Amino acid sequence: MEHPSSSAQLERPIEPQPAGPLRRSRRLGRWLAHLLALCVGAAGLLCAVSLPFAPVSVERTEVHWPGPEAETTTAFFAPYRPATFEATVPCPVLRSALDRPGRTTVLTTLPPGSDREGLVLTTEDRRPHLVLGQRDVPLPPGACGLRISADAQRSLVAVDGRDPIALPGTAAPEIFTFATDLDPEQLTGTSVTARTFSWFDTSPTELKTALVGAALALALVSLVLLLVHAPPAFGAVRVALTPLPVDAGVAAVLAAWLVIGPLTDDDGFAMMTVRNYDAAGDIGNYYRWFNASETPFTLVQHVMRWWSADDLSPVWLRVPSAVAGLLTWLVVSRGIVAPVCRGVRRFPLHLVTAVFFLACWLPFGLGVRPEAFLALGTSALVAALLKLERTQARQLWLGVAALVAGLTVAVTPTGVSALLVVLVFAPRIGRVLIQPGPLPRWVLVPTRAALVACLASTGLVAMFADSTLRGVLAATEIHHEFGPSLGWYQEVERYSALLGTGIWGTATKRLVVLLVVTAVLLAGACAVRQVHRWTSVGDLPVLLGSVLAVLAGLWLTPSKWTHHFGALAGLGAALLAVVVVVLVRLGGLGHAKRESRLLGAVGAVAAAPAAALAFTGPNTWPMHSDFAVPWSDTPVRPRVPLDSPVFWLAGAVLVGLLVLGVVHLRAAVWSRPRNRLMWTLMPASVLSGAALASVLVLLGSFATAPQVMGDRFSVARMNWQALHGGTCGLEDEVQALPIAEQLWPLVGEAELEGFTEGGAPPQEADLRRAGPEGPLEVVPPETEPEEGPRDEVQATSASEHAWTSLSGGPQTTGSLVSPWFGLPQLTRDQELSLWVAGRPEQGNSLALEFAAADRTLAVRELRDPPPTALPFDDPRHGRPDDWRDFRPWRLLGVDARDVPRGADRVRVLAEDRTTDPQGWLSVSGPVVRDVVPLRQALDVQQPTLIDWTMSFVFPCRSDYPQVAGGVASSPRLMVTPPSGDWGMAVDPDWGGVFAGATMLSRRIEVPTRLRDAPGHSWGHLYAVQYGVERDAYTTTRHREVVGGADGDPPYPFDEG
């Protein structure tokens, strides 16, 4: 009987084996496919490798002087020397100078009295004198007509058409100005042409653009080929729900940190390199190093250039780093810790990992610096390489790892750590490359290697798509010349700064490094004793090696700043979490008694001092981020002695005893075997507890600071306002105090005892308010200035009256009663103030007495508000003696609301009763000032140079001096930090781009203050008075095509 539904009927018929020709056809297809893949990978790699040498279009800029007006002008070259220099002084011009009495400057490129290496052509006693660089060039007495030619190697001086004087080793002169004593009509025929260096003024040619497109397209094809060759099992992907609450918590913390978190010390610097791109066409250093390019490590800056196109508010600019932080968390928790620590309950593991991640990321990760992206890159690289042992799609994940490694290298010099991580995983990578396949290995290995190398070469595309080999070499040389450029053997400098008490040694930053170093030691001990095998954490050695690779990458970088430790935010957190898991598992092993005790005791002894040493540092942060932050000048002690090793050791012992009790209880009640958890949980508890304490300190202190500041400026308030309608940052919170009305004595003389007239308070910018909302106006000089433009800000004195007790030295004592000054009625937006130097307290006193006719109405005492920026209070030595400096001049005053109603006169009362070095007083007469928004002062003149430490909190200011084509615009206003330091932008020892600004100008301060925040110093505003025209030269530009290895020669730092 037949059964049609039987199993015999359901079996598939046996397929015939392919015949010989079909087998050969399939085999030929495999050979052709691998040949094609080899060609794709090799071609993509070749395209990427050729990019540094590919031809580019370079823009040559020539500067010409004199301009139409033929007058002295500023000319800020960056670099200071041009690539080529030509100057012609015809005979009539030189004779005009020879005919003038005294010393006459015919042409100079240097400020008066400068010792820089420029050009100075003068005449005196009817003889010409030429100084070029360090050479005094002899000229014949009757010289008539002069031509100077110079480049980076030598100079030629031709006189009267004679054979030129050759000056080998004398490079083109440094240029900060084009100056002369001759009248414009006497300069007829004089010309100067200087071509600037153009290493970085390049753009891709069509050929290079095609190479970039081909390299990227072939990399994409390579990735697709690897995917097709070994597709991943997408159906095996499972999303664990247990860790999602922890993920949400981490995301919430990062979102809050985006608003309340501190600024980094480099945010302003990094963003100005990006903002100047539109003018320069390159990511240059803007402030220093001659504006040398940041090439080849500009990947993050280009991302930020795109991101900042429509909004420059700090909270918006920090979003990419926060997103990178969230991605890093997902990679670390799911791609590293979870697969390395298999068998551990997900929620506790996720929670511990989150604590370590936040402790490592929060102090370093937020901002526009590249460390957040470097941490993401290295974490993703390790996660991809770990995946090689746990997937069938090994070639695909190797390709992903190659792509990530290449892009990570393009982020920052510390990205070299990605290459070191690859070396750590080299054995695993080798096993994947030589994995057997359908063809011989001599075919498979080159093909796989070519595809992987093609993907890795995307790093070269990111680095050289918009730069050249010549540009990289020039930038590297300039960076090395000015520094910091330290060797690997000077890495101790970084750790020395980390253990300092400034912003480089903030407690929570210290903790990251010290905990990671402790984890490295514990992991190393576990690896040596094979503990990782006993505890089923076999990947501990490669994770340890990866962290060591990051630390080694730091050793190799030439600058030794502590913010580079942000690179540890991903892998460092992963290692800490894995080490805790290993310690906990080790304690549960019955056969590892010796290792448990040894690692537990030694680990606790190592971790406790590390945590205490970290919290011995202050909770101090850069500049305005430090406002109202607790423990900014003391060790971090939030009601518990976190800075005490005894505290952490006692906590570890307490945890051990508690665990011991629980273990014995379980053994007695449930007959469970005893283990050694009491030992291994001691170091684990210190590591976890210190990390948790760090997170709580950070979140608590930066949540408290804006509450203390209230409606006054804080970083959190600024960011919150940006999210709710916009803000101009610090610009909205600072008030300028221009003079509204000078006061004059009514009758009588000052009553002086020990005081004398004099003291000379500082002059200030003469600006006056013309309307309630418009910009302040420059008060023109009473007479036409002898030189320089009439619209420059002039200097004035607030009062013609001043008195001091310092004439006889600080030991002099006495008293002052000034004459009565007439007092107008003040409006709500005015104040009465005077200049003060010396100490008006601690034995001395200063006050303003108000009266109506002969009747005293009130006496208002004037004292300095308590400063908020304090030196570190060392636990053993305290603060430095005499740390408070009362000697500088500053304004003290009385707001209009505190002036007694009906007062029509005021006088100054001062008493000096002390004889110590600061026990003296100097005061000026009182003056009425307008209180106006800083914006009205900044709008007076443009452009405004804002110091790199502060520019990040001025998002609305777009009138910065542009740097392009090898020259920089001359700033008319300058904003400096609270210290008053002019900074590296004007320091020639740093290659300051605006060095000529301080060489050629006088800076006149505009009095300012932070709104409603006495004791908080925001910075300083200065008007820049050059006395000559600004940038009164012309430029011409033309383009030419050069090879990527060709172009201008190196900068001549040393004359031969």
Q: Which two tokens stand for residue 931?
A: 């209180």
526 touches 622 (CB < 8 A): no
Q: How far apart are CA 478 and CA 437, in angstroms?
A: 50
**pLDDT > 80? residue 1056:** no
| pLDDT over 90 at 536, yes or no | no
- Both structure tokens of 382: 């390790």
Q: What is the pLDDT of residue 86?
A: 97
| pLDDT value of residue 992 | 96
Structure confidence by residue, pLDDT tens digits, 290-312: 999 999 999 999 999 999 998 99
Q: Which residues 6+ apart lie within 8 Å of 184 measured at CB?
A: 66, 69, 70, 71
Average pLDDT over residues 1026-1042: 95
Tokens of 767: 């600006």
Tell me: the pLDDT tens digits for 377-404?
Answer: 999 999 999 999 888 889 999 999 999 9
| φ, ψ at 258 (rounded to 5°) | -55, -35
Q: What digits encode the pLDDT tens for the residues 400-442?
A: 999 999 999 999 999 999 999 999 999 999 999 998 888 888 8
Q: How confident is the model at residue 17 (pLDDT cuts 50, 70, 90)?
A: low
Confidence of residue 931 (pLDDT cuts 50, 70, 90): very high
Query: H helices within 896-1030, ranges in order?
Result: 934-938, 995-1000
CATH topology of domain 738-761+797-875+882-930: Jelly Rolls (2.60.120)
Whether residue 1 has pLDDT greater than 50 = no
Within 8 A by CB and 6+ apart from 132, the residues are: 119, 148, 150, 155, 157, 167, 170, 173
Predicted confidence at residue 675, as pLDDT, reads 59
Residue 1034 — very low, low, confident or very high, per pLDDT cuts 50/70/90?
very high
Which pLDDT belongs to residue 11? 41
**Token pair of 390, please?**
């746990």
Please tell me the predicted confidence (pLDDT) of residue 1055: 61
- DSSP assignment string, 717-735: HHHHHHHTT---GGGGTEE
What pLDDT, in 10s, does the model give residues 313-338?
999 999 999 999 999 999 999 999 99
Return d(Cα 111, Cα 893) in angstroms, integer: 39
Instruction: Locate the DSSP E strands across 699-810.
Output: 734-736, 739-742, 751-753, 756-757, 764-765, 767-768, 777-778, 795-796, 802-804
At 4 the pLDDT is: 42
What pLDDT, on the 0 to 100 scale, is given for residue 162?
79
Summarize pLDDT for 110-143 with one digit per residue, the tens: 999 899 999 999 998 888 999 999 899 988 877 7
Question: Per-residue pLDDT averaged across 796-805, rounded?
Answer: 94
* Sequence spans of domains, the chain: 59-195, 230-260+295-709, 738-761+797-875+882-930
In what helix (H) or strand (E) does residue 106 lie, and over which residues does it extend?
A: strand 104-108
* pLDDT, tens digit (0-9, with 9 covering 90-100), for 945-984: 999 999 999 999 999 999 999 999 999 999 999 988 888 9
pLDDT band at 7 (very low <50, low <70, confident <90, very high): very low
CB–CB of 1005/1021 below 8 Å? yes
pLDDT tens track for 990-1012: 999 999 999 999 999 999 999 99
Quickly state the pLDDT bin for 527 (edges 50, 70, 90): very high
Mean pLDDT of 477-483: 93
- For residue 785, is pLDDT > 80? no
CATH assignment of 59-195, given 1.10.10.10, 2.60.120.610, 3.40.1830.10, 3.40.50.1390?
A: 2.60.120.610
Chain segment 811-859, per-residue pLDDT in tens: 999 999 999 999 999 999 999 999 999 999 999 999 999 999 879 999 9
In 152-308, which ranges are E strands?
154-159, 165-168, 177-178, 191-195, 202-204
Q: Which residues contact 1019 (CB under 8 A, 6 or more apart)?
A: 730, 734, 947, 950, 975, 976, 977, 978, 1008
Q: Give the percent of the chain with pLDDT over 90.
A: 78
**Mean pLDDT value across residues 526-532:** 90
Specify the long-range contacts of residues 874-877, CB closer than 8 Å, at least 24 apart. 874/501, 875/616, 875/635, 875/643
N-to-C CA span, the chain: 111
pLDDT value for 126: 86
- Using DSSP's 3-state secondary structure scheme, residue 191 falls into strand
Return the closest-CA partner of residue 299 out of 320, 325, 269: 320
Residue 679, C-beta contacts closer than 8 angstroms, at least 6 positions apart: 587, 596, 597, 599, 600, 601, 656
Q: What is the pLDDT of residue 769?
A: 86
Element (H, E) at 932: strand 932-933
**Residue 251 Cα distances to 245, 328, 672, angstroms:** 10, 11, 40
* Mean per-residue pLDDT, 578-584: 94
Confidence of residue 87 (pLDDT cuts 50, 70, 90): very high
Strand bridging mode 973-976 / 944-946: parallel
pLDDT reported for residue 1038: 96
pLDDT at 210 over 60: yes
Residue 425 DSSP class = T
Answer whether the bond into residue 865 is a cis peptide, omega within 30°: no
Residue 13 has pLDDT above 70, yes or no: no
Axis-axis angle for helices 346-361, 507-528 (nearest 10): 130
What does the alpha-carbon distance between residue 57 and residue 200 come to, in Å, rounded to a whole number? 11
Confidence of residue 738 (pLDDT cuts 50, 70, 90): very high
Backbone φ and ψ of 287, nearest 5°: -85, -35
CA dihedral sign, ordered 430, 432, 435, 440: negative
Over 60: is that where the pLDDT of 558 sits?
yes
Same fold, 59-195 and 738-761+797-875+882-930: yes
Q: What is the pLDDT of residue 535?
A: 87
Closest CA relative to residue 408, chosen from 443, 383, 437: 383
pLDDT for residue 982: 80
Burial of 125 from C-beta contacts in 10 A (0-12 / 13-18 / 19+): exposed
Buried b (16+ CB within 10 A) or exposed e, 847-883: bbbbbeeeeebeebebbbeeebeeebbeeeeeeeeee
pLDDT digits (tens, 9 = 90+) for 599-644: 999 999 999 999 999 999 999 999 999 999 999 999 999 989 999 9
The mean pLDDT value for 788-799 works out to: 86
Burial of 181 (0-12, 13-18, 19+ CB in 10 A): middle
Which of 449-453, 537-541, 661-665, 777-781 has the weakest average pLDDT? 661-665
Please tell me what DSSP assigns to residue 173: P
User: CB count, 10 Å around CB of 691?
Assistant: 27
In the prediction, which pLDDT does 237 show? 60
Give the pLDDT confidence score for residue 415 in this predicted structure: 94
Return the closest-CA partner of residue 253 out of 377, 366, 337, 379: 366
Rg (CA), the chain: 35
Distance separating alpha carbons of residues 146 and 156, to the nearest angstrom: 11
Contact (Cβ atoms closer than 8 angstroms) between residue 419 and residue 377:
no
Mean pLDDT estimate for the chain: 91
